[in-house]
Every structure is written in C-alpha cells, then in structure tokens.
C-alpha cells in the first residue's frame, strides 16, 4: 500500500503560549496566550479531531512576542484540562539538562496517562541565550548537543540504569523511577543538514518549516536515504508547519493573507530576519529552516504561508493530501483566530481529508 494510503494523517496546532499571535502583523488576531483561553482551545481541538498540541519555548521577548509562558509547565496544564489530546512540550538543550527534563516528563506522563511528548529544539535566538548567560554554540555543535540530549532522555526512560560518557553530558547508573507511561515521542524542529541527520539517527519525528510539496519531498527523500546509511531501525515521521486560512471562498482567504502582509510590522519582521540569519541560514550548507524565506514568508514565524493551506475547505483538503503524498505524516497548523478556526477546521476540512484518504486507500487496494 502506498504511503498516502497507509495511515491517517495526524493534526497538531501551535499552542499560543507566547503573546502576539503567530504572525508578526497588526491585523486583528482573536487569540490569547493566557491559560483560560488555552485550556478552552485545547478542549476545542480535542473535540475537533486534533491529535496533538505543540507548545513553544522562548525565554525572552523579541519580534512581536513580549511575554511567554514556559512550555513544560504550560503543557502539563493543558494535559490536565483534556482527556485524549497529546501535548508536545518544547525544550531547549542548554537551559534544560537531560536529567531534569527526563524526570519532569516521567512525572507528567504518570500524571496524565502517558500523553506528553517533547519537541527538542536547538535554538535560533542568540539574544535569548545571551540574556540568560547560556553559551551560544555553533550551529552544528548545537545539533551535536541536541543529539546527545535525545540519546540521554531516551536512555533514561528505557534503561533500568543509565550510563553515558558523552561530550556534553555524563550519567552514572542513573535510574529514573517511575518511568513514563509508554514512550514519550521525541520530536525535533529544524531543516538544515544537521537537523536532517539528527532526525535520521535518533528522533521519532522531524518537524520542518512550511514548504511546497516538492520542497518537503526533497527533505523526506534525504532523511530516508540517511536512515539507511545510519542503520536506523524505525522510520522517522515527518510533520510540516502551515498557517491555515480557510474561508468559504478563495478570494476571502487570499484577502486575509494580503491583509496580514500589508499590516506586517516592518521593524519586527526585519529584526526576526536578521536573527534567523544566525540560525537556519547560518548552517554550513545554508539549507536551514529560513534559508529561502522571503520577508513576506517571515511574517509567519515558521514559513507557514509556504504550505499554501489558504483557500476553501476543498482546496485546503486537496493540498493537505498533496503534502501527505510528499511524505508528511502530520500537519501542524497555526491560525489567526485560534478557537474559532480550530473548530472550523475540524468541522469543514478534516472530514474532507478523511474522505480523500479513504478514496486513496480504496484506489490503492484496487491497484494491488
Ligand atoms: C515546528 C517547529 C517548532 C519549533 N519550535 C521552536 C521553539 O519553540 N523554540 C525555539 O527556540 N525554536 C523552535 N524551533 C526552531 C528549531 O529548533 C531550530 O532551532 C531552527 O529551526 C533552526 O534550525 P535549522 O538551522 O536546523 O533549520 C522550531 C522549529 C520548527 C520547525
């Protein structure tokens, strides 16, 4: 059976635990980063068919985001308010030591029936590291540390007594008790050569910025080749970011995109552009997350417009299937008006996606 027919796509939404919304624009965004709004949003998402919520980690203000709730504690609060939803807590090696994270997640897993996962990010915001006195490693060194971090947390969760003599971390017969319930899934964010190699060696999930199906396919092919080279025994799943603007007509949806861009906050977008030169674009081969982003793309922090989920429910469902054919296992979504649009998406887009997936499955069986 083809990849498209094999498994239903998963859906995730960005948790707005950072102020200012997900676009650097003065357009109205009916959203909030407070806990009451977020609890209700998580409940709406769960009822609307979303599988995951992804929190963000930021330590300081910058580029349209003044205030931020910490991701692990915030994720726990959302898990406590829901029953089925999995919540992915974003963490940064450096500020987090793997012993602390492994222990925190083991406890949260125990308290929430094993619904917590982690997104290990490697850092793009140099000013944030400076503000908290954390050394700023080179791009590829950050990934070497992240890889060791992932090996450490997985080892702590799975082995009775964990030992590691690494370049960044050391463990001596360390035993976490209790262990998590089931295995927390390890996601990672980033698109550079180093990010793809790390995915092909250790991660369960690879999250990448918004992209076209062709752009996504090139990354997935690369990861599949590298998995073989490295002898990885499981398939890395792939999640792609997108910014959903789904409206009754295509014109309406496009008008919203135009308004977001017209009302972009130039100074903040320029500042963000400058900052990400230090991150994605600074990787040695220049294939990082923001290497190809235009200023318009950067109005959405993670190139979400490039995935083009902007149009009618039918158009968006078709394009989601296009991303699935290119190798996506999960679609990550941000919205302007989170609660309203998560619900609309669940009602009007998800059933169409499921219908298209069922058709593809039937066609694939018929062809066998
Ligand atoms: C879906 C997604 C979520 C991310 N979340 C965060 C985050 O919460 N905090 C953060 O500092 N970086 C986050 N990042 C940034 C990445 O971890 C990484 O530092 C950045 O993409 C540059 O990587 P690259 O040079 O390998 O492309 C995220 C990236 C992606 C694709």
- Average confidence score pLDDT of the chain: 93
Separation CA 334–CA 202 (nearest Å): 27
For position 6, what pLDDT does the model report? Answer: 78
Ligand 1 binding site (Cβ under 6 Å of any ligand atom) = 56-58, 90, 92, 121-125, 139, 189-192, 194-195, 207-209, 241, 279-280, 283, 288-289, 302, 332
Rounded to the nearest 10 degrees, how much is the dihedral formed by the CA atoms of 285, 241, 212, 144?
A: 20
For position 1, what pLDDT does the model report? Answer: 45
Domains detected in the chain: 3-367 (3.20.20.30)
What is the position in ligand 1's atom list of the atom closest to the CA of 291? 27
Q: What angle do CA 316, 317, 319 make, to 5 degrees?
A: 65
Residues 100-143: tens digit of each pLDDT: 999 999 999 999 999 999 999 998 888 899 999 999 999 999 99
Give this prediction's pTM.
Answer: 0.95
For position 17, what pLDDT does the model report? Answer: 97
Distance 123 CA to ligand 1 centre (A): 6
Distance 78 CA to ligand 1 centre (A): 22
Residues 199-247: tens digit of each pLDDT: 999 999 999 999 999 999 999 999 999 999 999 999 999 999 999 999 9
The residue whose CA is least distant from atom 5 of ligand 1 is: 56
Mean pLDDT lowest among 16-30, 75-89, 296-310? 296-310
Rounded to the nearest 10 degrees, how much is the dihedral formed by the CA atoms of 141, 143, 146, 151?
A: -100
What is the position in ligand 1's atom list of the atom closest to the CA of 288? 27
Distance 278 CA to ligand 1 centre (A): 12
The tokens describing 201, both together, are 């060696």
Residues 158-204: tens digit of each pLDDT: 999 999 999 999 999 999 999 999 999 999 998 899 999 999 999 99
Best residue for ligand 1 mutational test, from 54, 150, 289, 330 (most atoms within 8 Å of Cβ): 289
Indicate the DSSP class of residue 133: T
Distance 86 CA to ligand 1 centre (A): 20
What's the pLDDT band for 34 if we cut at 50, 70, 90? very high
What is the position in ligand 1's atom list of the atom closest to the CA of 283? 25
The residue whose CA is least distant from atom 19 of ligand 1 is: 123
What is the position in ligand 1's atom list of the atom closest to the CA of 280? 25
Residues 6+ apart with CB under 8 A from 359: none
Residues 133-164: tens digit of each pLDDT: 999 999 999 999 999 999 999 999 999 999 99
Residue 307 has pLDDT above 60, yes or no: yes
What is the position in ligand 1's atom list of the atom closest to the CA of 121? 17
Using alpha carbons, select from 134, 140, 164 the residue that is nearest to residue 150. Answer: 164
Separation CA 256–CA 254 (nearest Å): 5
Residues 6+ apart with CB under 8 A from 310: 243, 244, 245, 246, 253, 254, 256, 257, 316
């Amino acid at each position: 059976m083809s990849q498209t027919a094999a498994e239903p796509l998963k859906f995730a939404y960005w948790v707005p635990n950072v102020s200012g919304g997900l676009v650097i624009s003065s357009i109205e965004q009916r959203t909030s980063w407070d806990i009451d709004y977020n609890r209700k949003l998580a409940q709406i998402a769960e009822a609307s068919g979303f599988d995951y919520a992804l929190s963000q980690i930021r330590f300081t203000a910058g580029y349209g985001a003044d205030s931020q709730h910490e991701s692990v504690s915030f994720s726990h609060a959302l898990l406590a308010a829901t029953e089925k939803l999995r919540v992915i807590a974003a963490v940064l090696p450096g500020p987090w030591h793997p012993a602390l994270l492994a222990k925190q997640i083991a406890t949260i897993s125990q308290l929430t029936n094993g619904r917590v996962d982690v997104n290990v990010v490697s850092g793009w915001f140099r000013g944030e590291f400076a503000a908290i006195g954390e050394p700023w490693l080179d791009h590829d060194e950050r990934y070497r540390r992240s890889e060791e971090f992932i090996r450490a947390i997985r080892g702590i969760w799975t082995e009775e007594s964990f030992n590691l003599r690494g370049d960044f971390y050391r463990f001596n017969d360390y035993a976490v008790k209790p262990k998590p319930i089931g295995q927390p899934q390890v996601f990672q964010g980033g698109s550079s050569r180093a990010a793809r190699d790390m995915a092909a060696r250790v991660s369960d999930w690879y999250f990448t910025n918004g992209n076209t199906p062709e752009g996504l396919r090139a990354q997935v092919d690369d990861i599949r080749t590298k998995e073989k080279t490295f002898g990885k025994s499981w398939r890395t799943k792939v999640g792609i970011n997108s910014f959903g603007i789904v409206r009754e007509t295509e014109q309406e949806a496009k008008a919203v995109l135009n308004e977001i861009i017209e009302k972009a906050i130039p100074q903040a977008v320029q500042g963000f552009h400058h900052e990400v030169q230090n991150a994605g674009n600074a990787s040695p081969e220049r294939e990082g997350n923001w290497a190809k982003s235009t200023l318009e793309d950067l109005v959405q922090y993670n190139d979400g417009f490039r995935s083009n989920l902007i149009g009618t429910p039918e158009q968006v469902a078709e394009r989601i299937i296009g991303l699935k054919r290119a190798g996506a296992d999960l679609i990550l979504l941000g919205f302007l008006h989170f609660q309203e649009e998560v619900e609309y998406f669940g009602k009007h887009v998800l059933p169409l996606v499921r219908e298209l997936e069922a058709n593809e499955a039937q066609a694939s069986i018929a062809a066998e």
